[in-house]
Amino acid sequence: MTSKAAPAGLPPVTGAWRPGDPRGRRQWLPVDRSLRLDAGGVLPAYTFAYETWGRLNSDASNAVLIEHALTGDSHAAGEAGPGHPTPGWWDGLIGPGRALDTSELFVVVPNILGGCQGTTGPASPDPDGKPWGSRFPQVTVRDQVHAEAELADALGIERWALVVGGSMGGMRALEWAVTLPARVESLLVVAAPAAASAEQIAWASPQLHAIRSDPGWRGGDYYDAAPGDGPHRGLGIARRIAHVTYRSEPELGRRFGRRRQSAADERFAIESYLDHHADKLVRRFDANSYLLLTESMNTHDVGRDRSGVGEALSRITARTVVAGVDSDRLYPLYQSNDLAAGIPGAGDAVVISSPYGHDSFLIETLQIAALVKSLLG
């Protein structure tokens, strides 16, 4: 099951972390009990990969849960290196003296259930040791939160001082506060809705089709293919589509305009930029996980089986801040306004002002830090 390095120039069959790869800062929690799933069926024993910073205090009152977005992972802080292909995605927030001050707080970042960076997902071995592939069951955001509660229990954390996330991470943070309100003291939801909208599902649709139309996808069972023969083309197209929605039109216009990449490269500069991000993703992510997690986002709805969104949000007891980005075209600001209006005591949504679009939740760390401090102060 160890992943094999692809020959120079060839993308790997999967960018998933697999047993035998460098572990980096990851810790693991095997969960021996099965997880009953929203859509029916059961996921047998599974494993969580997670990272921590700081130390849990004697009464376990200083724990913070950070939820990563679609193609994120547990490596929220620290340098790139063996086992971690990218630097920490919220490095500016985590550490001594930072907003999430690890001299006082115990910060926990799990890789999402169904992901591909150490937690059980489609690229992981099933109970018989074969990659799950097409047989991995569909999971919802609610399932992912129930699984994360097992991690909290194992770490001895009854109540989080703060649960925070942006984008898909914001969906899970919100679901924590609705599903397990007594376990969340404060909540920060950034650039995430109460339920996925028709347009968000529409943006996802061509991404899903791109992967499933790739001959290298092989119905989801491609892990024994040779390097270069996996579904990297479809995954790359999906990333190109998604990345356009992550940035704002004015920013792309200012950065790239209509210029060509170079005299020797006739691509438009914006095409080169999208190609670059596609190539990066296929070397660190798994196509099946991209499908699974995108569909989890599509089915996100805190009001499902709870008499609607309003009734669900009324369950939240956490001190809450909701924030949206004024240039976000994927999760528009109105969704954050609607979400904040439905949560008791949340007040108005905070506006993160930025030209960078949806990705501002990763970029505007000073503005995010101020919101974190307001909840922990």
Which residues are part of the catalytic machinery? Answer: 167, 328, 358
Q: Is 345 left (phi over 0), alpha (psi -120 to 50) or beta?
A: left
CA–chain centroid gap for 95, Å, is 21
Both tokens of 191, joined, read 């650039």
User: Residue 159: exposed, middle, or buried by beta-carbon count in 10 A (0-12, 13-18, 19+)?
Assistant: middle
In angstroms, rounded to a whole number, what is the distance separating the alpha carbons of residues 162 and 295?
Answer: 27
CB contact set of 71 (below 8 Å; sequence gap of 6+): 281, 285, 290
Return the DSSP state at 262.
-
Q: Helix (H, G, I), strand (E, B), or coil: what is residue 359?
A: helix
Q: Which residues, in sequence order, are bridge partners of residue 254?
A: none
In angstroms, rounded to a whole number, what is the distance separating the alpha carbons of residues 107 and 163?
Answer: 10
In the chain, alpha helices (H): 141-155, 168-179, 198-213, 232-246, 249-256, 269-282, 287-298, 309-313, 333-342, 360-363, 365-376
